[in-house]
Chains A and B, each alone.
Chain A
Amino acid sequence: MRVLVVEDDHHVARQLAKALSKMAYAVDVAHNGEDGEYFGQTESYDAVILDLGLPKKEGLTILQHWREENRMMPVLVLTARDTWREKVTGLRAGADDYLTKPFEMEEVVARVEALIRRATGHVNPLITWGPVQLDTSSQQVSFNNVPLELTALEFRTLSYFLHHPNAIISKTRLTEHIYNQDFDLDSNVIEVLVNRLRKKLGASFITTHRGKGYQLTTFDEHT
């Protein structure tokens, strides 16, 4: 899962990136409106944290542009503007959630998690697929009710699969959603990651569709 943080205050941006990385998100940071808008237009994000008072381009303008271009990733507005008029305006412009500064880091992370979960159609914070269970609020995975140790990349890959349980996911798409910008893209790494997950969760957990990508193997009713 990959998150974009558009925030001009470097300290706040750093803290957000740190907290999100800790919860195994891939994080990109933009420090001004123009960069933020461009990242949102060209990269694939599962959620965006957007400040409103930004240099070069206003947060609300960016949001409106994204929505006009049909980029529908969930956006959490995180701003010092705290009147109800501003909140209504932000939400009407297409924000999915609105949080005012100063904020508690746990609150932001929880809301980002909820946004991603809801955007992929999950109401319950527990996503279950056969013997695998992902608790999105604590970002913990258990296998047959036993907590499973995963690296950050493994977690992101599994989490992406679990959030999109019925989709065939191409290597490119997977790459876009588990790496941040600074990472050197190497499609072999995806194969390695999938194989490592198969080793931990059973070889048949992920099915390969040749030339198309990967998909979670359907579990029958007996599960």
Chain B
Amino acid sequence: MNTRNTLTLRLLLTSSIWVILTLVATDILLVQLFRSHIELRFDAFLFDQLQGNIAASEISPQDGRLRMTWSPSNLRFHRPLSGWYWQILNDGKLVAKSRSLWDKRIQTNDPDIASGLQYQNILGPAGGQLRALSEKVTLPDSDAYFTFVVAGPISNIDLDVQQFSKMLLITLTALGIGLLGAVLLQIRFGLRPLRQLKVALTETRSGHTARLPESFPSEIQPVVSELNALLDHNAALLERARTQTANLAHALKNPLTVLNNETREIQGESRQILQDQLTSMTDSIHRYLSKARAAGAGGLLRTRIDVAPLAEDLRFSMNHLYKDKNLYIHFSGLEDCSFQGDRYDLEEMLGNLLDNACKWAQTRVEVHGERNNGQWKLIVEDDGVGISEEQLTLALQRGRRLDETTPGHGLGLNIVHDIVALYGGTLQLHQSSLGGVRASLEWPAVDEPDS
């Protein structure tokens, strides 16, 4: 799977971009608001101070000079070069100043009488940036113009804004991390049905369920319904293909019978050729028909099948089919023996093994079931003459027949071998202590907790 192309990544990426953009914008906006708020308060302070200075100033009736009726008490204006200054100018000459100015003065543009209050940023005497408010006024009993100036350090504003920004950054970062965590949780929760769908599909593919459950959220349900429809369609197609194969095979059987019997009338070499070809055709039909029928582990209907009743049915059949031999067919250990899969497959395997044993047996056939290490093992043995180990090995090879003389016979073990392989099982042939063949069929035991 491409890790770069995941829904989680897509959702996370889009959410992250949005969250980060929003938070950055919030940060910028809040810092701006804070700064303008601080500046307003700063300016208001300067304005109050200026008005205070103007109110404290009067023209002395004795000498007509300006004097302060009270000195501004704010300590900032007393500490030398504190950054907070005031001064009063008359026609460019210093009339009065704050103690903080020491022997310096601040340089401001002299405002017009008409322009009223004027704010300006200037370089202070101690080097720092100052914000100054100046106003040109006339005082009562005098026609001289006085310029009142009050200034404070801008660095104060910057310091406050910086502190605020720092706090804001920490808060917003925490908020951002929290939001992204929430988004991640939301994605995981939101995408959970998709993971459930994956699990359900795996279950279906492994054959535990035939269809997907119909309990998904309404956004996914249409997809699930379509998948179910597809599964049904597939099953129908498979069933139809099986039926058609069976029909074809059945349709060929009568003509093959007729041809096979008619070749007996023919004399000479061509008779043998025809019969060989007919036998080969018959074998192919038999083999591929049983292959088409075999559902295997991928089959949709995997149910637990008890071996015992099925074996009983087959014993009944064998007793009829081999009535003349009067065989004793004995079962042991089949009570708990079970098979997880298709009923037809089990019947076909067991039927062929029993049929083969009965065909070769002289008096008895033993069927024994046992369970070892999670495997069921079914042993079918007969007391016939048996065949050599070499022939036993050959018997399971593809297309080989144990009995080359009768068409349609002897393919049985091959078919068993093919079917059990579909279930991850094995068929092994050995010589039996009874004298004949000992066929042992093994398949994985599956325990169904809710059977």
Chain B positions 288-331 with a Cβ under 8 Å from a chain A Cβ: 289, 293, 313-314, 316-317, 320-321, 323-324
List the B residue with the shortest CB-CB distance to A7.
B254
Q: Is A56 an interface residue (CB 8 A)?
A: no
Q: Is B166 an interface residue (CB 8 A)?
A: no
Q: Per-residue 0/1 for B246-272: is the Cβ within 8 Å of any A Cβ (1 yes, 0 no)?
A: 000110011111101110100000000
Q: How far is the CA of A189 from the CA of B256 in the complex (A)?
A: 41
User: Are B317 and A84 within 8 A (Cβ)?
Assistant: yes
Report the interface size class on chain B: 35 or more
What residues of B have a CB within 8 angstroms of the CB of A102 in the complex?
Answer: 253-254, 256-257, 260, 278, 282, 407-408
List the A residue with the shortest CB-CB distance to B281.
A102
What residues of A have a CB within 8 angstroms of the CB of B262 in the complex?
Answer: 15
What residues of A have a CB within 8 angstroms of the CB of B215 in the complex?
Answer: none
User: Are B344 and A104 within 8 A (Cβ)?
Assistant: no
Given A91-B320, A97-B321, A105-B261, decide whether A11 and B254 contact each other with a Cβ distance below 8 A.
Answer: yes
Q: Is B348 an interface residue (CB 8 A)?
A: yes
Chain B positions 322-353 with a Cβ under 8 Å from a chain A Cβ: 323-324, 343-344, 347-348, 350-352
Q: Is B6 an interface residue (CB 8 A)?
A: no
Q: Is A87 an interface residue (CB 8 A)?
A: yes
What residues of B have a CB within 8 angstroms of the CB of A118 in the complex?
Answer: 323-324
What residues of A have a CB within 8 angstroms of the CB of B406 in the complex?
Answer: 104, 107
User: Are A84 and B260 within 8 A (Cβ)?
Assistant: no
User: Are A100 and B408 within 8 A (Cβ)?
Assistant: yes
Q: Per-residue 0/1 for A71-106: is the Cβ within 8 Å of any B Cβ (1 yes, 0 no)?
A: 000000000111111011001100111101111110
Choose from A12, A80, A107 the contact partner of B258 (Cβ within 8 Å).
A12
User: Are B320 and A103 within 8 A (Cβ)?
Assistant: no
Choose from A12, A19, A88, A104 the contact partner of B254 (Cβ within 8 Å).
A12
What residues of A have a CB within 8 angstroms of the CB of B314 in the complex?
Answer: 84, 88
Number of chain A residues whose Cβ lies closer than 8 Å to a Cβ of chain B: 29
Given A84-B351, A88-B313, decide whether A98 and B250 contact each other with a Cβ distance below 8 A.
Answer: no
Choose from A15, A53, A82, A100 the contact partner of B261 (Cβ within 8 Å).
A15
Q: Per-residue 0/1 for B381-422: is the Cβ within 8 Å of any A Cβ (1 yes, 0 no)?
A: 000000000000000000000000011100000000000000
What residues of A have a CB within 8 angstroms of the CB of B352 in the complex?
Answer: 84
Q: Is A114 an interface residue (CB 8 A)?
A: yes
User: Are B317 and A9 within 8 A (Cβ)?
Assistant: no
Q: How far is the CA of A96 from the CA of B323 in the complex (A)?
A: 9
List the A residue with the shortest CB-CB distance to B313.
A88
List the B residue with the shortest CB-CB distance to A15.
B261
Given A9-B254, A97-B321, A104-B260, decide whether A83 and B407 contact each other with a Cβ distance below 8 A.
Answer: no
Given A15-B261, A100-B408, A104-B260, decide whether A87 and B254 contact each other with a Cβ distance below 8 A.
Answer: no
Given A15-B258, A102-B256, A104-B260, decide whether A96 and B324 contact each other with a Cβ distance below 8 A.
Answer: no
User: Are B317 and A101 within 8 A (Cβ)?
Assistant: no
User: Are A92 and B256 within 8 A (Cβ)?
Assistant: no
What residues of A have a CB within 8 angstroms of the CB of B250 in the complex?
Answer: 53, 80-81
What residues of A have a CB within 8 angstroms of the CB of B343 in the complex?
Answer: 85
What residues of A have a CB within 8 angstroms of the CB of B350 in the complex?
Answer: 84
Q: How far is the CA of A92 from the CA of B255 in the complex (A)?
A: 28
Choose from A82, A85, A98, A101 the contact partner of B320 (Cβ within 8 Å).
A98
Choose from A11, A12, A87, A96 the contact partner of B351 (Cβ within 8 Å).
A87
Q: How far is the CA of A9 from the CA of B317 in the complex (A)?
A: 26
What residues of B have a CB within 8 angstroms of the CB of A12 in the complex?
Answer: 254, 257-258
Given A91-B316, A101-B257, decide whether A83 and B344 contact each other with a Cβ distance below 8 A.
Answer: yes
What residues of B have a CB within 8 angstroms of the CB of A82 in the complex?
Answer: 286, 289
List the A residue with the shortest CB-CB distance to B350.
A84
What residues of A have a CB within 8 angstroms of the CB of B293 in the complex?
Answer: 83
Most chain-A Cβ atoms within 10 A of its Cβ — which of B250, B317, B406?
Answer: B317
Smallest beta-carbon distance B333→chain A, Å: 21
Q: How far is the CA of A103 from the CA of B408 in the complex (A)?
A: 8
List the B residue with the shortest CB-CB distance to A101.
B253
User: Are A80 and B260 within 8 A (Cβ)?
Assistant: no
What residues of A have a CB within 8 angstroms of the CB of B264 in the complex?
Answer: 105
What residues of A have a CB within 8 angstroms of the CB of B407 in the complex?
Answer: 102, 104
User: Are A84 and B316 within 8 A (Cβ)?
Assistant: no
Q: How far is the CA of A101 from the CA of B352 in the complex (A)?
A: 16
Smallest beta-carbon distance B357→chain A, Å: 14
User: Are B317 and A91 within 8 A (Cβ)?
Assistant: yes
- A residues near B, CB below 8 A? 9, 11-12, 15, 19, 53, 80-85, 87-88, 91-92, 95-98, 100-105, 107, 114, 118
Interface CB pairs A-B, < 8 A, 7: A19-B261, A82-B289, A85-B347, A97-B321, A97-B323, A102-B257, A118-B323
In the A-B complex, the 7 residue pairs with the smallest Cβ-Cβ separation, listed nearest first, are A84-B351, A102-B257, A101-B253, A80-B253, A102-B256, A11-B258, A80-B250
- B residues near A, CB below 8 A? 249-250, 253-258, 260-262, 264, 278, 282, 286, 289, 293, 313-314, 316-317, 320-321, 323-324, 343-344, 347-348, 350-352, 406-408
Given contacts A97-B323, A118-B323, could you give 12 more A-B pairs where the C-beta distance is less than 8 Å? A15-B257, A80-B253, A82-B286, A83-B348, A84-B347, A85-B343, A87-B321, A88-B316, A88-B317, A91-B317, A102-B257, A104-B407
